[in-house]
Amino acid sequence: MSVDSALIVRKTTLPTAQQLTADIAETGVTVTFPADFSLDRNIGGWLPVTVDGQPSGFNYAVQSMAELDPAELPEGAAEAGDTLLAFGGQGTLSAQTVTLIHEVMGRRYRAWLLIEDELLPPDDSWGPGAPLDELHVDRRGSPAKLAGEVDAFVARHYPPLPSARHAAAKDFLMQLVVPVLIFVALGGFYLWSQLK
């Protein structure tokens, strides 16, 4: 599973990684970022994090809104903030962690969610001091628990497709082609040498 999403924020309101860690802890989840991580620093790749003791992470990049073509953004994006934080979840635990970060950033720092070219504003009642403890209740568990539930649902309702018999036979025959050609060539060479 791969999920690409972004938050549009005002750079001046971005928290430190330590503050974001404390904010997330209010939801009952422990997320540990690398010691040198800063939300306003462009990683441009994989950011390893630990979620409730489990290794995880996500792709992370930061870009100024001034660098983006306004025609490629939905209406209202320019008013939402001056900085775009891009997230790329890889796998269910990663995606659930990104979702939790989105919710915390939306409630506490009024970040706007940009996903699939749709811009979703934060609730008017959110902002500094917005309660975060109910997120844990609303989400019915930690990212690891939610990721496990998603994986179990997918396994139950969408089992892997069995390989088709003709495809397996074709693969087997393709593996035999080179040895058979070598055998035929050697046999032909042997017969040719015997006829001389």
Interatomic CA distance for residues 6 and 119, integer angstroms: 10
In this structure, is residue 164 part of a structural domain?
no
* Structural domains of the chain, count: 2
In this structure, is residue 115 part of a structural domain?
yes
Residue 135: predicted pLDDT: 77
> 126 and 191: one domain?
no
> 35 and 65: one domain?
yes
- Tens digits of pLDDT across the chain (196 residues): 456 899 999 999 999 999 999 999 999 899 999 999 999 999 989 999 999 999 999 999 999 999 998 888 899 898 999 999 999 999 888 998 999 999 999 999 999 999 988 999 999 889 888 988 877 656 666 777 777 777 776 777 677 766 666 666 677 667 776 776 776 677 676 676 777 6
Which tokens go with 138? Answer: 């609303």
Q: Give residue-wise pLDDT tens across range 130-139.
A: 988 877 656 6
> 150 and 178: one domain?
no
> 54 and 100: one domain?
yes
> 85 and 59: one domain?
yes
Please give the model's pTM, rounded to 2 decimal places.
Answer: 0.73
Question: String of b and e for 73-91 (b: at least 16 CB within 10 Å)?
Answer: beeebeebbebbbbbbbbb
In this structure, is residue 163 part of a structural domain?
no
Q: Containing domain of residue 102, as a range?
A: 2-156
Collect contacts of 171-176 with beta carbons under 8 A, ≥24 apart. Answer: none
Residue 164: predicted pLDDT: 64
> How many other C-beta atoms can be found within 10 angstroms of the C-beta atom of residue 196?
4
In this structure, is residue 79 part of a structural domain?
yes
Interatomic CA distance for residues 46 and 64, integer angstroms: 19
Task: Give DSSP secondary structure letters for 155-175.
Answer: HHHSPPPPPPHHHHHHHHHHH
> How many other C-beta atoms can be found within 10 angstroms of the C-beta atom of residue 7?
25
Residue 1: predicted pLDDT: 44
